Structures are given as C-alpha cells and as structure tokens.
C-alpha cells in the first residue's frame, strides 16, 4: 500500500494543485485532493511517497514501438529513407534471442525512466521480448512483425503461452504491413486474430511510396485493402496513418481503428505529417507511439506528446487545433485501450495503479496549468518515479526489478555484435 | 584550472570517443583525445572533473529569448495567436524592475541547467536583466524591444554602462519589429547601432499577417523595408524569418544577417515553418533560439535543436535536408557569432571555456554517433555541468553563483503578482 502525497495531480479526469493517490494491491483506491482524503483503512504498512510538489499523472502508453531497436540508435542518421533502411536491416540480421532480450530490457529501462507504463511492440523473437516484459514488471502488448503465413500462425503458440501473464501481457497478431506480405498473409492475420479473439498490430500508410504501391498492387489504398480483407473487423492498432484520404479516414472511423501517431519518426524519416486534427475531428481514436529508437532516437513519450501537439498546430496553421488535455488523453487512455488494457490510462479508484511522478524541482514544470506543463514543458528525464500495477519499478535512478549495470554491459556488447 | 576527462568529446571541429579538456583562467588550453594529452604545466591546483563517459560539448547559444517570460509559462496555452497575445501582454504590464530581475535570474537558472552558456535577449528593464547576467556568470547580449525613438536611444546609456562588462555582456540595439514602430524608430535604431558600433536585434517576418501588413504599409516585405532604411548595414539578429520570399533570402545573404530560427515557438503559435534548408543552401547564417518560455514552454536548446532538424526534414520531405553536425553548429558557433561572441561556440585551445557535460548514465545517449546523440536524443535535463568563461556555474542540481532556493521563492511570488 502506497500513499503518494504532495503532488500536483493530473488524473485524466480532473487536476488538483495539491493531490494524493493511495494504492493497494496493484489498484488505486484514492486519487484526488489531498485535503479531502479520508484516512485509508490501514491493514498493512503504508509506504509514504512524498512527491515534493512534482506532477503525478497516469503512466504513458506507447502505442507503437520496436523495443530492441534501442541497440540501433543513431545508425544511418540523416540518410535518405532507403539508405537508412538498408543500414538498419543489415544489422537486424545479426540479432539473436539473447540480444533481443537485452535490447528489450534496455528499452524497458528507458521507457520506465521516462514514465511509460505500457507499450505495444512489433518485432521478432517475441518469446524473448515477453520474458523481458515479465521480468521487468512493465505492461506490454507484443506482436511479431509477420511477413509470412507461418509468422502469422506463430502467434497462436505465443498467445497460448503468454497472453494474460501476470495480467500484464497481451499477445495480439502482428502483420508487418501491406507492402511486405501478400494477400494470403493478411487474410491469415485476420483469421488468426479472430480465432484468438484478439486484435491486430500493423503498419499502415506510413509513406507515400507505400500508398502508391498498394494502389498499383490492389487498386485501393491500404485502409481500403485491409477493410476488404477483413483485417479491420478485429481491434486494430494501425501505426503511422500519415497518408490518408478522406475515404480512408471514414474507414478508420467505421471500424474503430486505433491510429498510432509517431510524429518524431515521421519527421526523422521525412515520411510526412499525419492528419491528426482531421482524424480526431472525424472521430478516429488517435494514440501516440515512439516507433523504434533507430528513427526517433529516444523512447521519450513526453517529447512525443509535445511534438504531436506542435506539429498539429503548425501543420493546420491553427494554434487551437489540439489542446494539451487532448494530447495527454491520446498518450494515456487511448493508447491503453488500443493495446487492450482498457482499465489503464486514468487515475481513479478501482483502476490499475500505473502512474509516474515528475521532478518537483524542475524549473520548467511550474507553469500556469498542469496539462500544459506536461505536454509543452516536461520531458522523460524529468520523471522521478514510475509505478506499474502498484509496484514501484523506477525511482530516482534506480530500478527495483532490473540489474541495470548488468544490462548496460550486455547492451554494450550486443551493440558491437550487431555491427560486425 | 580544470581537467575534464572521461568524456565523449564533441568540439565543433572534431569528436573523440574518449576526450579531455583543460581550462585555465577562463580559456581552453587543450581539447582533444585523452590519450594524446600531454601533461599540462601545473601552476596552481588542478580540479579534476570526471565526466563519467558523458558527452562534453560547446555550451549552447540561444540566439533569441525573452528571459523574464519564464514567469508567464503556460499562460494562454492552446489559444489562437491574438488571444494568447492579449493574455500575455496584460500580465506583462504588471512587471516591475524586481520581477524582471527575478524572472531573468530564473531563466538563467533554466538555461544553465540545460547547457546554455550565452543568450541573446530582447525585453525591457534591461539594466535589471543585465544585473542578473552579471550576478549569475552567464554570457548574454541584451537589448530592449523598442517601439519608440526614446526606447531606441535608451540603448546609448545602457551600452555605456554595461557593454563589455566582465567580458560577458554585449548591448546591441533592440527594435521590436516593423509592425510595432514607424519608420523614424527603425531609422533611429539603425543610426544608434552605427553610432555605438554594435548590431541590432529585431523580430522579422514571423507571421503571415506581419508580412502582409508591411507590404500594405511600405509596399515591400520586412527584409526589403529594413534594407531600404539601412538597418541591415550593421550586424543583425533577425528573429523568426518564417515567411520569406526568395528575394528576401537574397537580402539576408547580401547583408550577412543572422536569422534566429525558433521552431518550437513558430509551431506553438502556428506562425509557420521557416525555410531553414533553403536559407542554409543559399548561404544565410541560421542560428537557433528558444523565444520566450510563454510560447515554447521551456528554454531547452537541446529540444530546440531536435525540433529544428526534424522540422526541416519533414517540411522538405528529405531526411538528408540537414545533418546533426549542421544543427549543432547553428546552436553553438553561429549563435555565438550572431551575438558578437565570436570566439565562443567551439572547444579549441585559446577560446573561452564555455561548455557543458551531459549525463554519461543516460540510456539514450549511447548511440552510433556523438552528433546524432546530441541532436536527436539529448535534452536539457541530461546536462550535469555547465561552465561559462572557465567557471562551473551549474553542477548536479547545484548553482555556484545563484541562491536557487531564494530565487524559486521570489519567482513564485512574482508569478502571483503578475496575475493580479
């Protein structure tokens, strides 16, 4: 049982200049004004966390990541897309189950250090990734970036073994994208997801070339193609959604697709600017993701929120095109629902205790309004404490479930092994 | 005398995976490979700074700021430009000399904490701002945002009293902008700068409305108007430069104008996207600035560098439109020259010791390349130490020249006094 006090509290429903949160057994039992808190029924010992006047808020939900790519950070920086891709893909061939575990764990350290409590990932060697998720205590939705029917079907064993583990792991079906698989693979992904009763995670309409190629191959845009195949009849995380027609947006709305917006990556690779304001106005569920660290080059969801807001404003030439509270919702509640963690993303009694606390001493975090401090001023390095499912996993530079020193050493060797 | 060792060194001319820097009496006497360093002639005691494997680089140069606006952080967030302006201007009327000093000092704390060693500012109550600069040990170029001939002429006394103070203060002539003054004021600014033998700091072509208004009023764009008046015959820091024609860019090149690019502010206020790639290709000196914290909402030059790079890439749809090393140069060497601190911005023997050291333990700062780590992964909160003129002003949360606790308390009261 934790009592978090002396925080500027942002719950996702309300904010309090002096708030408090009480957790018990992985759940929140109180989130609100500190002064109106009634004494909790103290059954066991209570650990008091003094937030030092820092912001306490829901943990961030990274809706699209490729965790092990932290080992490829900075590779091919500033190269045109295809040169960057071949640089990165060449190194990806050297990954082993061990380096995948190490890379995932290193990414989880960075995510926790930046206040992220759950992430949706697509990569390969998923069993090793999930072991890192389980060992670390974070929450995640893991899929393989399948490009073959066998790859798609491999989710069945993965789902049987891991879905629901510790209440923190979800296994969806991953399909890399339209342009990296034929129609049989996409149909298999839709069928497998239906069989398992889960959703799909897929790259969609990231680059202009992808959309043009899809029209050549199938006569329609990626959303229309996936709709035709039935892939959108299950819950979907569609990463990127940069190049969309109005008809595409209608398709996303019709199927309740979760668009995972990745502004840093879309800018870094010059993919384009996703029509976030338009999608939101039409009713698309827009979440936010970091993409892999090779095209970001961090896993900092605070910087991603800021970028999402700033990019929306300048691309629409409208400073009111999106508000700070909307952006926080995208990066918390909407992201959580996209991953199938429907209870997460809001700090309310009864919900899982996934939260983070920012540095009360940070000069830039004492602005006029908590929401605008979070979106426009905070960054991942401001996080002091991250809690998942009621467990403190990161606090003031220390990890409670991860041998950070060992992981840093392993990561350093892993990076070398990928470069040879 | 300081010996900085065990750092990944980026000098602005070269980089070393294990470098060292030696400073003496405010100057650098060595910057290079740690292994090839010859023992310095030890006259007095040497203080050894172990960088712990963190990046050491030139201090950042913020080429356009309104320091006291840290007290207005978050005010009017997400409002359209004119509503934001009236919200901010109403509060600005409540500033006093005391709150200007406090606000400037608070901004300097934030700048130092984020690795900034010099800044160019435009505001009012400049004598109080300069006192904060002198007291803190930072380097700055200060101007008044003049809108009248009297305001312009007030720079004469200011220059006499403060220019060159401690070798760290420059006083240029500030002209708020074309749209906030008539031709007499602009001419007075040009004349005063010539008399004093200094440069001018001016807002230019920030918004579409400003450019259209200038054409209505004067028949030409702001750069052409200022050229005609002679304002560009002295060194110029032109803040924003968002809406420029090709002919405008030619004017900037012809006069060696320093364009101060403020990507966060231009996005936040939906002003537009400055044509940075085009300006640079044509030979304009482009520096980077934060603008005031009321439209940013931080003074984090690392995040500003990242934004400058990402925005250039996506707006040109070319991932190679700008390289990390170019962005660092804009935020260091070019910025320093814009302010008249020509020796700063590069770590080389003989130059002033203005530098910062980043956290060696930061997981996101161990990518493939030092320059790309700096631009795409670092943020201000990663800074562990900031040195100006050979003095350590910030280290691990502590300020050596500023009573941080007092300043925080004063800032908190000042914020309240501005809101009434």
Selection from B223, B219, B217, B218 nearest residue B247 by Cα: B223
Cis ω on the peptide bond leading into residue A336 (within 30° of 0)? Answer: no
Euclidean distance between CA atoms B420 and B414, whole angstroms = 10
* Chain A CB within 8 Å of residue B77 CB: yes
Three-state DSSP class for residue A185: helix
User: Is a pLDDT exceeding 80 seen at residue A39?
Assistant: no
Question: What are the φ/ψ torsions at residue A288 (nearest 5 degrees)?
Answer: -130, 140
User: How many Cβ contacts (< 8 angstroms) between chains A and B?
Assistant: 189
Q: How many helices (DSSP H) and strands (DSSP E) are in chain B?
A: 15, 18
Q: B112: nearest CA in chain A?
A: A363
Distances (CA, A) of B58 to A63, A416, B111, B287, B334: 36, 28, 14, 15, 12
Report whether A36 contacts A29 (CB < 8 A): no
Euclidean distance between CA atoms B5 and B33, whole angstroms = 10
Q: What is the mean pLDDT of chain A?
A: 96
As a whole number, mean pLDDT of residues B290-314 equals 98
Euclidean distance between CA atoms A197 and B209, whole angstroms = 54
For residue B369, which residues of chain A lie inside 8 Å, CB to CB?
Answer: 74, 77
User: Is a pLDDT exceeding 60 seen at residue A43?
Assistant: no
* Chain A CB within 8 Å of residue B179 CB: no
Predicted local confidence at residue A420, as pLDDT: 78
* CB within 8 Å: A366 and B310: no
Quick one: pLDDT band at residue B44, thresholds 50, 70, 90?
A: low
For the stretch A127-147, pLDDT in tens is 999 999 999 999 999 999 999
Percent share of chain A, pLDDT over 70: 99
Report whether A375 contacts A125 (CB < 8 A): no
CA atoms B307, B309, B315, B317: torsion sign: negative
For residue B382, which residues of chain A lie inside 8 Å, CB to CB?
Answer: 381
Residue from the list A110, A379, A397 with its beta carbon closest to the beta carbon of B303: A379
Q: Which of A201-210, A226-235, B39-48, B407-416 is predicted with the least confidence, judged by mean pLDDT?
A: B39-48
Task: Count the Cβ atoms, other than its own, within 10 Å of residue A41.
Answer: 8
Cis ω on the peptide bond leading into residue A178 (within 30° of 0)? Answer: no
Classify residue A55 by its DSSP letter.
Answer: E
Task: Count the Cβ atoms, other than its own, within 10 Å of residue A414.
Answer: 24
Report whether B1 contacts B353 (CB < 8 A): no
Predicted local confidence at residue B324, as pLDDT: 98
For residue B397, which residues of chain A lie inside 8 Å, CB to CB?
Answer: 361
For the stretch B338-366, pLDDT in tens is 999 999 999 999 999 999 999 999 999 99
Q: Specify the DSSP element, H or E, that contains B98.
A: helix B97-113
Predicted local confidence at residue A362, as pLDDT: 96
Classify residue B70 by its DSSP letter.
Answer: G
User: Is a pLDDT exceeding 60 seen at residue B106?
Assistant: yes
Predicted local confidence at residue B41, as pLDDT: 58
For residue A372, which residues of chain B lie inside 8 Å, CB to CB?
Answer: 74, 77-78, 297
* CB within 8 Å: A266 and B377: no
Distances (CA, A) of A2 to A24, A43, A60, B56: 7, 12, 20, 40
User: Is a pLDDT exceeding 90 seen at residue A42?
Assistant: no
Q: What ipTM score was computed for the predicted complex, to two decimals?
A: 0.97
* Chain B CB within 8 Å of residue A87 CB: no
* Chain B CB within 8 Å of residue A70 CB: yes
Q: B405: nearest CA in chain A?
A: A361
User: Is a pLDDT exceeding 60 seen at residue B43?
Assistant: no
Predicted local confidence at residue B233, as pLDDT: 98
Q: What is the mean pLDDT of chain B?
A: 96
What pTM value is reported for the model?
0.98
As a whole number, mean pLDDT of residues A221-227 equals 98
Euclidean distance between CA atoms B143 and B192, whole angstroms = 12
Q: State the maximum Cα–Cα separation within chain A, in Å, rounded to a whole number.
A: 65
Percent share of chain A, pLDDT over 90: 96
Selection from B71, B161, B70, B168 nearest residue B118 by Cα: B168
Quick one: pLDDT band at residue B47, thresholds 50, 70, 90?
A: very high
For residue B323, which residues of chain A lie inside 8 Å, CB to CB?
Answer: 78
Residue from the list B293, B367, B379 with its beta carbon closest to the beta carbon of A73: B367
How far away is chain A from the Cα of B401, in angstroms, using its nearest Cα? 17
For the stretch B199-242, pLDDT in tens is 999 999 999 999 999 999 999 999 999 999 999 999 999 999 99
Selection from A346, A365, A364 nearest residue A355 by Cα: A346
For the stretch A338-378, pLDDT in tens is 999 999 999 999 999 999 999 999 999 999 999 999 999 99
Choose, out of A319, A378, A386, A411, the residue to mutate when testing the contact with B (most B CBs < 10 Å). Answer: A319
Question: What are the φ/ψ torsions at residue A106 (nearest 5 degrees)?
Answer: -65, -40
Cis ω on the peptide bond leading into residue B297 (within 30° of 0)? Answer: yes
User: Is a pLDDT exceeding 80 seen at residue B97?
Assistant: yes
Euclidean distance between CA atoms A275 and A271, whole angstroms = 13
* CB within 8 Å: A381 and B382: yes
* Chain A CB within 8 Å of residue B70 CB: yes
* Chain B CB within 8 Å of residue A264 CB: yes
* Chain A CB within 8 Å of residue B85 CB: no
Quick one: pLDDT band at residue B82, thresholds 50, 70, 90?
A: confident
Question: What are the φ/ψ torsions at residue A298 (nearest 5 degrees)?
Answer: -135, 175
For residue A110, which residues of chain B lie inside 8 Å, CB to CB?
Answer: 363-364
Euclidean distance between CA atoms B65 and B45, whole angstroms = 37
Euclidean distance between CA atoms B150 and B34, whole angstroms = 54
Q: B419: nearest CA in chain A?
A: A368
For residue B316, which residues of chain A lie inside 8 Å, CB to CB?
Answer: 270
Task: List domains and CATH numbers for chain B.
Answer: 2-58+346-399 (2.30.40.10), 60-338 (3.20.20.140)
Euclidean distance between CA atoms A97 and A132, whole angstroms = 11
CA atoms B67, B69, B74, B79: torsion sign: negative
Report whether B114 contacts B381 (CB < 8 A): yes
Q: Please give the distance of CA A353 from its chain centroid, rounded to a whole number.
A: 17
* Chain A CB within 8 Å of residue B73 CB: yes
Which residues neighbour B257 within 8 Å (Cβ) at sequence distance 6 or greater?
A: B223, B232, B236, B238, B251, B284, B285
Selection from A380, A420, A327, A418 nearest residue A95 by Cα: A418
Quick one: pLDDT band at residue B80, thresholds 50, 70, 90?
A: confident
For the stretch B144-187, pLDDT in tens is 999 999 999 999 999 999 999 999 999 999 999 999 999 999 99
For residue B376, which residues of chain A lie inside 8 Å, CB to CB?
Answer: 74, 77, 268, 296-298
Predicted local confidence at residue A81, as pLDDT: 81
Report whether A291 contacts A64 (CB < 8 A): yes
Tokens of A364: 């830039």
- Helix %, strand %, coil % of chain A (to 5): 45, 25, 30
Q: Which of residues 196-215 of A touch B (CB under 8 A)?
A: none
Distances (CA, A) of B56 to A46, A73, B11, B39, B102: 43, 19, 8, 20, 30
Q: Specify the DSSP element, H or E, that contains B9.
A: strand B2-10
Q: Half-sphere exposure of A387 toward its Cβ, with a 13 Å CA cutoff? A: 28
Quick one: pLDDT band at residue A287, thresholds 50, 70, 90?
A: very high
User: Is a pLDDT exceeding 90 seen at residue A106?
Assistant: yes
């Amino acid at each position: 049982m934790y009592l978090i006090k002396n925080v500027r509290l942002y719950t996702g429903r309300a904010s309090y200049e002096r708030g408090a949160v009480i957790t018990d057994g992985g759940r929140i039992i109180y989130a609100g004004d500190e002064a109106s808190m009634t004494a909790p029924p103290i059954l066991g010992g209570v650990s008091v966390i003094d937030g030092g006047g820092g912001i306490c808020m829901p943990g961030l939900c990274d809706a699209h990541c490729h965790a092990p790519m932290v080992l490829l950070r900075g590779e091919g920086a500033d190269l045109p897309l295809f040169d960057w891709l071949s640089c990165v893909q060449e190194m990806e061939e050297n990954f082993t189950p061990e380096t995948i575990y190490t890379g995932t764990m290193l990414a989880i350290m960075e995510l926790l250090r930046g206040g992220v409590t759950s992430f949706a990932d697509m990569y390969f060697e998923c069993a090793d990734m999930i072991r890192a998720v389980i060992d670390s205590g974070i929450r995640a939705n893991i899929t393989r970036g399948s490009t073959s029917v066998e790859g798609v079907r491999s989710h069945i064993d993965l789902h049987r073994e891991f879905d629901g583990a510790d209440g923190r792991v979800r296994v969806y079906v991953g399909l890399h994208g339209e342009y990296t698989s034929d129609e049989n693979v996409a149909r298999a992904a839709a069928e497998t997801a239906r069989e398992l009763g889960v959703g799909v995670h897929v790259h969609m309409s990231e680059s202009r070339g992808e959309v043009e190629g899809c029209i050549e191959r199938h006569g329609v845009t990626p959303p229309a193609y996936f709709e035709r195949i039935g892939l959108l009849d299950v819950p979907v995380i569609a990463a990127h959604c940069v190049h969309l027609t109005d008809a595409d947006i209608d398709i996303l709305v019709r199927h309740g697709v979760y668009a995972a917006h990745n502004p840093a990556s879309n800018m870094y690779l010059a993919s384009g600017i996703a029509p976030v304001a338009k999608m939101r106005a039409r009713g698309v569920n827009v979440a936010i993701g970091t993409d892999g660290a090779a095209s970001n080059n961090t896993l900092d969801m605070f910087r991603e929120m800021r970028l999402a807001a700033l990019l929306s404003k300048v691309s629409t030439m409208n400073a009111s095109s999106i508000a700070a509270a909307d952006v926080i919702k995208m990066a918390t509640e909407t992201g959580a629902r996209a991953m199938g963690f429907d209870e997460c993303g809001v700090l309310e009694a009864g919900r899982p205790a996934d939260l983070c606390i920012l540095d009360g001493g940070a000069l830039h975090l004492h602005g006029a309004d908590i929401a605008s401090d979070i979106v426009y001023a905070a960054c991942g390095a401001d996080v002091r404490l991250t809690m998942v499912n009621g467990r403190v996993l990161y606090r003031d530079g220390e990890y409670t479930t991860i041998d950070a020193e060992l992981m840093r050493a392993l990561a350093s060797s892993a990076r070398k092994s990928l470069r040879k």
